[in-house]
Structure 1
Amino acid sequence: MEEDNTHHKISKKLSNMLLTSYPPFQLGDVEGVSKECRLQSKHFIEDLKEFKFWALKMYDGGAKFPSGILHGNINQLGDFDMCVNSHSKERNIHGQYCLTNLEIEIPKSTYLSGLYQLIMAYDHIKTKIEDSGHRVPRFSSIMWAVCIPSVCTHEEVEKGLSKAIQKITEGTDLKIRQKVYPENCHAKDKWEVPISTYIALILFVGFISWLMFATLYHHWSFNPQNEWILAFSLKKNFDSLFTIKNNSNDIEVLHGIRWLNAVALIAAHKNMAMLFEPFSNRTGMVDEVASAISLVGRTASLYTEPFILISGILTAKSLLGKLDKTKKINLWEEYVSRLFRIVPSLAFLIFFCTFLMPWMSSGPMWNQVVTHHSHICKKNWWRNLLFIHNYFGFSNMCLTHTHHIGIDTQLFFLSPILVYVLWRWPKRGMITLTTIALASTIYRFYLTYVMQLSNYIHMSASTPQLFATADYSYTQPSHRLQVYVMGIFVGYLLKYSENVRLSQDH
């Protein structure tokens, strides 16, 4: 009895302190909220006052006012797992984690503007609360986690935020907008794996089983062996992938160039991806990201150009060799061969990222980034397989990192004409290709100047500007044609000029 009294006194004192100092987000007294949501919110507060464990978990799962605000520590993700795992069997209440977005409009004040710049880490990327946020983070928005009963909807959370914000801004010129996206609300009792994912999982397991069978088939060395089965052997493919045998037609120096650019391109992509992270010292992170040396990671276009150049070199060298032998190019054979090499692996990647990857994990921004991409792929996957996805904009592109495949394939389909003209009429061909490259350069410069595009991510670049650069320049083959033509010229020189060699000996 004495122990119970002691527990009750301590619990009451602690709960009073918490509710007074750090009031929980709740919807029990918000107008326009459903009866069930209000009732469960009130039960949550009642049990929190009694210091019940499930209510403490819900309370602890939401964001609290942090330290380090002036260092940009404003994005508070709370504790995702703590929130979604909170559950009251007695009251049948499940915790729901919602990541809200808040956008502050500072009144005209030099002092307040200075504070805002520190809080928002200098607005490194200018974004709006309405931006999609799946490819470029909503950097100018405050991310604030709340933990509520799962019966409450994201619209009801917005109404609760509106009421809380009204209390904060009342009597001031400060304006705060709020937005809660449905995909940013997570509750375990609402997670339903679609049938398509189960079907995809069965197909995936079946494919892995087939790979294992093909590998064992290869290992047992049946004679004669079926080449179609051997094509799926892991042993054969790994041997081919990691071989260091020299090929007489190989240009070894290109491997080093390709590797260096691949590493730089990964760094450029990670430079943007890291902006999603809730840094406790975001101003310091932005200082590093905006430094001169970081320009290496902010100029992704520089690292895609060499891949276009290399593609032009290898394609020209191959087609010129066939023209010398047969005096013609078998377009059907060239196109079908390329499609057979690319389409299966690309289709598998789309299949995996669309149906399986969204259910492999969870987290505060998992749906915003990964699941959002999968929804786009469910609608637009066919564009990727037709290699036209780069014409429909970054915001609606399935797997944005595959845009280069579309560019390279379109240029490859054009290459037989360019190479044949250069082979058949060398002088006229050079003039024609040079004119095409010059026109591509002028067009690229014109659009960049008129539309104020930026080929690198600079301080305070806006999301519309970044997307415009991607849509009108970065993903367009017309803007990469001059580089591809340069590659064709290099391939032509390597084929016919005895004084030009790309090897370790020269």
Structure 2
Amino acid sequence: MSFKNKILICTLLFTLVFGDSKTKDIYNDFFNELVNRKELVAQIKTKLGDSEEAGFALIKMLDAWSKLPSGIMDGNLIDLGSFDECYGIEYNNIYGKYCLGIIQFNPQTEKYFKVFGIASRKPRPRLLLNPEPRLMGLGDDYTGLHFAACVPSTMSAAEIPGLFKYTEDFCYSKATEPELSARAIVTITILAIFLCLVLVSTSYDIALNYFKKEPYHELLIAFSFLHNGRKLFRSSKNSDQLLCLNGIKAMSMMWVITGHEFSNVMFAPLSNFFVLQEWLNDPANMFIMGATVSVDTFFVVGGLVTVYTFLKSMDKGAKFNVLLFYFHRYLRLTPAYFIMALIHLFLLNHFGNGPLWKVVDVELVDSCETGWWSSLLYINNYVQKGTCVPQTWYLQVDMQLFVLSPLILIPLYKWPKIGLSILGFLIIGGCVSPFVIGYVKHINAGMLNNEDTEKFMTYYYAATYARFGPYVIGMLAGYFLYKIKTNKIRIHLKSWHVITLWLVFITGLVACVWAGYPLNVATEEDRWGSSLYLAFNRPAWAVAVVGVIFLCVSGYGTPIDKFLSWSVFQFLTKLSYSMYLVHICVISIRTSLLRNNIKFSSFAILHVFWGDFMITLGLSLILCLTFESPIIIIEKYLFHRSEKTKASKQ
């Protein structure tokens, strides 16, 4: 942004609050509120009294208020004041009450932002641009200045005088601290029971190892951290496994977390908010803005593994039971998900506090209250708003595709030509469906340039009928990989074929990430371009991913295959589901605990990523060992026993 534009913005900043030319009066009112605050002092004195202690409490309250920040021309539109100073005030059963308020810009501010080139397609952080009116009690979606007030807990937000608008939604006080509810106590009890199971089972396992004895029953060590930890850290080199998938899934999960780090920082209190537009306009950053294709990698792998394992099990003489097929899947995913839902619903509010803590309520708690039951039935993306554990929209889509998969699996096994024909038809449908949706609903290519993000999510991004393309491409790949691994199809490629294919697939991966750049920075709707992008970009990504897998499995990518099969990636892949459930919670809590503004830069966010990643890794390890691994052991025992029983009856 040029210096001239910054001066113009600084001059217009206060004028645009009311949309008139009374700049001098607005400046006077604004500085009177920030500096003099005579009316406020008088009101607080009536609440506190005239004693020496009351005077000290008054001084602390005024000191905790926001001050006029520096760097407004760079987008420092929020000052958080001193949350802890205000929150810690206690006098005569009256507590400090911290409130975050806003001066709302006039609607014409949007026009001036575009004129000055700050945000022709500006990012939409939830605090600064209020996409959800309930956050700051506003009915409109305009940028504003956000400042903090500190008043006695007996004063309501509506009583706070001045230009800023305060609501109880963003007020915090010890007087209104949430107490542990009966449901929270039940949740803690459930977690405590599992902790006891872990302690007893692990102690028993340690004793067995010390005395070199076998367990009396395998279920007695089902919750042992020692037993499950050994499995978790043990690497496999089974030739039947597609080991290169480990590296692909592990790196994709890290990419997902990185993308969420950057998307979440746009909701944080930034001291250089206007620099976001420059960052978004830089094509080098498409690595982050195009990271959504990492989810399609999981769709590809999901479809591929479903077909591959199904055909392998049928070769071994297994009988296909649809109900057990569904039950295995539900039991595999739901226990850890259920525990995370309980934590989100009843315990998350007690994990901390801060100026932005109500964001945790809106994003993680409230959405879980409205959507917990449909989320656990994996139908939330069609039944109601508010996904419990918000990133698990993917689980809804993946489970629905899994439920429908027998319609392809059975024909693919019994009548391969029919099954392959169905897959071919679905692959075409996977391109046509998003094109029609994008064109009819006027959906732009990416989230950032969609004015209506809810429409983008509802009709395209979280809709099974718009996202199944990569999954069925993965299913087709799973069929041919099964043929290759069982030597029913042999592939012989010359060196120049191999080099050419690697170049094509790697170029395809890079192209799919950067292809959306012109659409992301476009200032006007490109209906055809966006629809074509939605139709072909994700399927093209899926084809490129499948190509890499084929070359690795066929023995034509030894160095890359060895890297992707690295034991570290095997370990991370085993934790990937737990990491997926945990990481948004970690990122959101860290952001909501902020007491000061942060300066946006790519290096700063990547630095933060590694801290969040390690915390996520540690929590995921606990979640996996406590809820994922034991369920797998219990499930294997139950079904193995039932098979033995059937065999004995025969």
Same-fold call, TM cutoff 0.5: yes
Runs of 4+ with deviation above 6 angstroms: 18-21, 45-48, 108-113
Q: Tell me how far apart the structure 2 counterparts of residues 338 and 467 of structure 1 sit (CA, whole Å).
A: 29
1:204 matched to 2:181? The reply is no
1:88 aligns with 2:75: no
Query: Alpha carbons of 1:450 and 1:104: their partners in 2 closer, same or farther (altered >3 Å)?
Result: same
Aligned counterpart, 2:169: 183
Does structure 2 retain, via aligned residues, the 8 Å contact 1:103–1:129?
Answer: no
Name 2:46's counterpart in structure 1.
42
Q: Distance in 2 between matches of 1:302 and 1:101?
A: 36
* Aligned counterparts, 1:411-450, within 5 A: 411-450=401-440
Matched, 1:498 2:496: no
Partner of 1:74: 77
Q: Quote the offset at 1:320 in angstroms.
A: 1.4
Secondary structure of 1:186's partner? strand
Query: Greater relative contact order: 1 or 2 (C-alpha under 8 angstroms, separation 6 or more)?
Result: 2
Counterpart AA for 1:124: P
Partner letter of residue 253 of structure 1?
A: C
Offset of residue 69 of structure 1: 0.7
Aligned residue pairs, count? 451
Identity of aligned residues (%): 24
CA shift, 1:350, in A, is 0.8
- Aligned equivalents of 2:87, 2:337: Cα separation in 1: 35
Distance 1:239 1:26, change over 3 A: farther
Q: Which structure 1 residue ranges, 5 or more long, are not aligned? A: 1-17, 30-37, 166-177
CA shift in 2, pair 1:57/1:426, >3 Å: same
- Residue of 391, 409, 417 corresponding to 1:401: 391
TM-score (norm 1): 0.80
Once residues 231 and 142 of structure 2 are traced to their aligned partners in structure 1, the CA distance between those partners, rounded to angstroms, is 44
Deviation at 1:230, TM superposition (A): 1.6
For the residues of structure 2 that align with 1:197 and 1:108, how far apart are their CA atoms? 45
Taking the aligned partners of 1:288 and 1:388, their CA distance within structure 2 comes to 36
Residue identity opposite 1:446 in structure 2: V
Q: CA deviation at 1:491?
A: 0.7
The correspondence for 2:345, drawn from 318, 331, 354, is 354
Q: Distance in 1 between matches of 2:54 and 2:306?
A: 70
* Counterpart position of 1:391: 382
TM-score by structure 2 length? 0.63
Contact (CA 8 Å) 1:41, 1:149: kept in 2 or not? Answer: no
Q: 1:23 aligns with which of 30, 36, 48?
A: 36
- The RMSD of aligned alpha carbons is 3.1
Q: Residue by residue, what CA displacement relative to the aligned partner does 1:216-236 show, whole Å, maximum 9, x if unpaired?
A: 111111643332232211112
- Given that 1:154 and 1:185 are in contact with CA atoms closer than 8 Å, whether structure 2 keeps it comes out as yes
More helix by share: 2
Secondary structure at the residue paired with 2:266?
helix
- The reply on whether 1:296 has 2:300 as its aligned counterpart is no
Quote the Cα distance in structure 2 between the aligned partners of 1:25 and 1:433.
73
Report deviation, 1:109.
Answer: 11
**Separation in 2 of the partners of 1:443 and 1:25?**
62
- Map 1:235-254 onto structure 2 (within 5 A): 235-254=226-245
Q: Tell me, in whole angstroms, the C-alpha distance in 1 between the residues paired with 2:319 and 2:194.
A: 39
Following superposition, the deviation at residue 130 of structure 1 comes to 4.5
**Rounded Cα–Cα distance in structure 1 between residues aligned with 2:134 and 2:394:** 22
Separation (CA, whole Å) in 1 of partners of 2:344 and 2:303: 30
Matched residues in 1 for 2:46 and 2:84: separation?
Answer: 22
Superposed, which structure 2 residues align to 1:89-488 within 5 Å? Answer: 89=92, 92-105=93-106, 107=108, 123-125=122-124, 127-128=129-130, 130-131=132-133, 140-157=143-160, 160-161=161-162, 164=163, 178=165, 180=167, 182-193=168-179, 194-221=181-208, 223-326=214-317, 328-370=319-361, 373-392=364-383, 396-458=386-448, 461-462=450-451, 465-488=452-475
| Whole-angstrom distance in 2 between the partners of 1:290 and 1:46 | 56
User: Cα gap change, 1:249/1:25 in structure 2, threshold over 3 Å: closer, same or farther?
Assistant: farther
Q: 1:41 to 1:430 in 2, by over 3 A?
A: farther
Change (3 A) 1:113 1:331: closer
Decide whether the 8 Å contact of 1:271 with 1:289 is kept in 2. Answer: no
Taking a change above 3 Å as real, the CA distance of residues 277 and 139 of structure 1, as seen in their structure-2 partners, is: farther
Unaligned regions of 5+ residues in structure 2, if any? 1-30, 484-488, 492-549, 557-650
